[in-house]
């Protein structure tokens, strides 16, 4: 299908002059549609939003179901870690896939895989029961689908959204995550109370909606797919992605800093869920912690676009990450359910603007043919330690109890914030109107074009 010349994301294209116009007439400048009127963007967002909510319900129920099946905190934490290992294993090749293949096809394929993974648990339940092994395999495959889906979707959004709108687009993505956190876990808890398999079926339905929306996208979501004879070897493209990320000071520094932040924050979150499940807390009350965090993220995402537009993204991120640290310490200091709600709520308020600014900046400066690989390298490294989070949480809870467990993770988060605050390349990031000035030319002048 031939794209119209006014496709969003191609700011240098203009409409053809009307018939009968003189040669002296200035060309008509195309005005990109607003995000609400950007059909490809809205289809991608709608499908992914429903999928995130459905998968959130299913993912929320995994440790509860694992604990119910095994009776062991360590086994429940291990199954959670297995799912995150699935995401980790798929992340790096996912970037190469996103830059080599048609991104719409990737989104469709991942939706089908997620549908099959969560749907298989429903089938198993009807046929006689779910085993811990089956649960681990299903969670692993669903995580693989998500890991391959995300860089393809991120690169696709970068392709259909003009650079000046990227800050708002990424704030909307954060809002999507907030909505998912707001409704997925409480609903997952309610569904789990009715039947252990219902959250998994909700995950399958979410992937089905994402599949339908992806099939409705009728524009190209990236550069034309090269013929096999024109492609660089996959290994070389993979290395090129690493070279690119390591050549940009901000991206290079982000690898270690946000790996530590993700490990400590996810460990705190996993520890809360496992601790409450071990106390036989009602599933709805466990999900309510996610819900409060999601509500706070939703409020934060509504303000994220304005905050990122008004304040330099780097200094804003440092300030808001400190708010996350404060929220983390509220949890072990209070040691109460109300304190857990307050702590997660504070953290949730701060996260959207941090992500919108930093992710938007990374997308804005990265060439289109490297978007997928840039995303996958960052995801691999920043989430590289995350699979340890539920496992460490389960072990620490068994050995030292909840207060020390939460305190250790909060202290680790504070140390991570201190490292982030010391990174000059992060602090210097400005407002979105300056991001285009930092756009990277790749490969550097004098080097042959690859990938």
pLDDT one digit per residue (tens) for the chain, 451 residues: 323 333 333 333 333 333 334 344 444 445 667 777 788 888 988 898 899 999 999 998 898 888 888 888 788 878 878 887 888 788 778 877 887 788 888 999 999 999 999 999 989 988 878 888 999 999 999 999 998 998 888 888 877 887 777 777 877 776 777 677 677 878 888 899 899 889 999 999 999 999 999 998 887 776 655 545 455 666 787 788 889 999 999 999 988 898 899 899 989 988 998 899 888 888 788 878 877 887 888 888 888 888 988 999 999 999 999 999 999 999 999 999 999 999 999 998 998 899 889 988 998 898 877 877 887 788 777 777 877 888 899 889 999 999 999 999 999 999 999 999 999 999 999 998 899 889 888 877 656 555 4
| The token pair that represents 441 in the structure block | 């030319």
Q: Give the pLDDT score at 231.
A: 56
Q: What share of the chain is helix, strand, coil (3-state, %, to 5)?
A: 80, 0, 20
- CATH topology for 37-215+231-438 is Growth Hormone; Chain: A; (1.20.1250)
Sequence-separated (6 or more) residues with CB below 8 Å from residue 354: 316, 317, 320, 321, 324
Q: Give the pLDDT score at 230.
A: 54
List of E strands, 69-141: none
Q: Give the pLDDT score at 111.
A: 95
Give CA separation, 283 vs 80, 96, 201, 295, in Å.
17, 39, 17, 18
The model's pTM is: 0.66
Sequence-separated (6 or more) residues with CB below 8 Å from residue 40: 8, 156, 160, 217, 218, 219, 221
Please list, residue by residue across 51-88, b when 16 or more beta carbons sit within 10 angstroms of its beta carbon and e when fewer do: bbbbbbbbbbbbbbbbbebeeebebbbbbbbbbbbbbb
> What is the chain's Cα-based Rg?
22
End-to-end CA separation in angstroms for the chain: 24
CA dist., res. 294 & res. 188, Å (int): 14
> Are the C-beta atoms of residues 51 and 209 closer than 8 Å to each other?
yes
CA proximity to 358, closest of 253, 429, 297: 429
């Amino acid at each position: 299908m031939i794209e119209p010349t006014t496709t969003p994301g191609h700011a240098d294209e203009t409409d053809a002059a009307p018939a009968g116009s003189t040669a002296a007439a200035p060309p008509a400048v195309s005005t990109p549609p607003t995000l609400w009127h950007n059909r490809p963007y809205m289809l991608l967002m709608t499908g992914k939003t429903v999928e995130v909510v459905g998968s959130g319900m299913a993912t929320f129920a995994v440790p509860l179901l694992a604990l119910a099946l095994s009776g062991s905190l360590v086994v429940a934490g291990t199954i959670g870690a297995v799912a995150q290992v699935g995401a980790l294993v798929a992340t790096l090749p996912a970037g190469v896939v996103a830059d080599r293949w048609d991104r719409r096809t990737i989104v469709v394929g991942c939706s089908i895989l997620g549908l099959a993974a969560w749907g298989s648990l429903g089938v198993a339940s009807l046929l006689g029961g779910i085993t811990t092994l089956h649960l681990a395999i299903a969670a692993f495959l669903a995580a693989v689908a998500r890991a391959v889906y995300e860089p393809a979707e991120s690169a696709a959004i970068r392709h259909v959204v003009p650079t000046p709108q990227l800050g708002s687009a990424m704030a909307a993505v954060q809002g999507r995550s907030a909505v998912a956190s707001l409704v997925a876990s409480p609903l997952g808890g309610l569904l789990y109370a009715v039947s252990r398999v219902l959250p998994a079926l909700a995950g399958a339905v979410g992937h089905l909606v994402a599949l339908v929306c992806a099939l409705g996208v009728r524009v190209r979501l990236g550069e034309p797919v090269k013929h096999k004879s024109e492609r660089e070897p996959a290994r070389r493209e993979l290395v090129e992605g690493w070279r690119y990320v390591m050549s940009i000071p901000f991206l290079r520094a982000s690898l270690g800093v946000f790996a530590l932040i993700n490990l400590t924050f996810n460990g705190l979150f996993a520890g809360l869920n496992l601790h409450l499940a071990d106390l036989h807390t009602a599933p709805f009350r466990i999900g309510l912690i996610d819900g409060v965090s999601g509500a706070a993220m939703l409020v934060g995402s509504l303000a994220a676009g304005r905050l990122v537009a008004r304040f330099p993204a780097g200094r804003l991120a440092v300030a808001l990450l400190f708010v996350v640290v404060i929220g983390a310490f509220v949890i072990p200091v209070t040691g109460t359910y109300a304190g857990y709600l307050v702590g997660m709520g504070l953290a949730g308020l701060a996260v959207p603007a941090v992500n919108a600014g930093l992710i938007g900046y990374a997308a804005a400066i990265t060439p289109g043919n490297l978007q997928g690989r840039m995303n996958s390298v960052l995801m691999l490294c920043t989430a590289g330690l995350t699979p340890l989070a539920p496992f460490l949480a389960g072990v620490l809870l068994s050995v030292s109890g909840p207060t020390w467990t939460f305190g250790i993770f909060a202290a680790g988060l504070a140390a991570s914030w201190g490292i982030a605050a010391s990174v000059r390349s992060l602090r210097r990031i400005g407002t979105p109107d300056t991001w285009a000035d930092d756009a990277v030319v790749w490969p550097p002048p004098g080097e042959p074009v690859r990938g």
